Amino acid sequence: NAHSGFSLDYLFEYAIQENSGENPVDYRANYRHLELSFGYRGASLVLGQEVLGADGAGMFVSPLGNLHDFQGWADQAVNSSLGNINGGIKDQYLGLAYACTELFSVSLNYHDYRSDQALAGNSDIGSEWGLVARSELNEYNILFKYADYSADNVGEDTKRLWLQLGLDF
């Protein structure tokens, strides 16, 4: 109902990647992304899961993907820019956002990272909290972003902070 202020959105993506040609690694890995988003009068809740699969020695790779946006802002799962790590990565996430005004918004998110294929019996990769605040004033915009990654078996404990100023013309 357009007058209630309530919205419901969804996302579903699926892809298969496999070796071809002279690739010495024989593999077939999949990618899937499911997301549900609920909104009500400027507030939103997002629940999702994104999986970059693995198959033995092979893994779903995305060398042209924006790793910062998809595998965490602390950039701990970059694996030489392949977009995946040995054993694959399963990102289960929750996000809360609120548009305080047309010119100011904040969001908080949590990611739990696990292996798609548990290596050595341990599937915990790590977890990350993120916070973003955005504001606009005339042609200027400002972004504050914070990430706090807690490593289990991949990367290292990392805290990162960004302050970005922009000008639209």
pLDDT in tens, the chain (169 residues): 555 789 999 999 999 988 888 888 788 889 999 999 999 999 999 999 999 888 877 788 777 766 666 677 887 776 655 667 778 889 999 999 999 998 999 999 999 999 888 665 668 889 999 999 999 999 999 999 999 999 988 888 999 999 999 998 8
CB 120 within 8 A of CB 102: no
Q: Which residues make Cβ contacts (< 8 Å) with residue 126, sequence separation at least 6?
A: 76, 113, 149, 150, 151, 152, 153, 154, 155
Q: What is the pLDDT of residue 83?
A: 65
Q: Which one-letter DSSP state was computed for residue 1?
A: -
Q: What is the value of pTM for the model shown?
A: 0.86
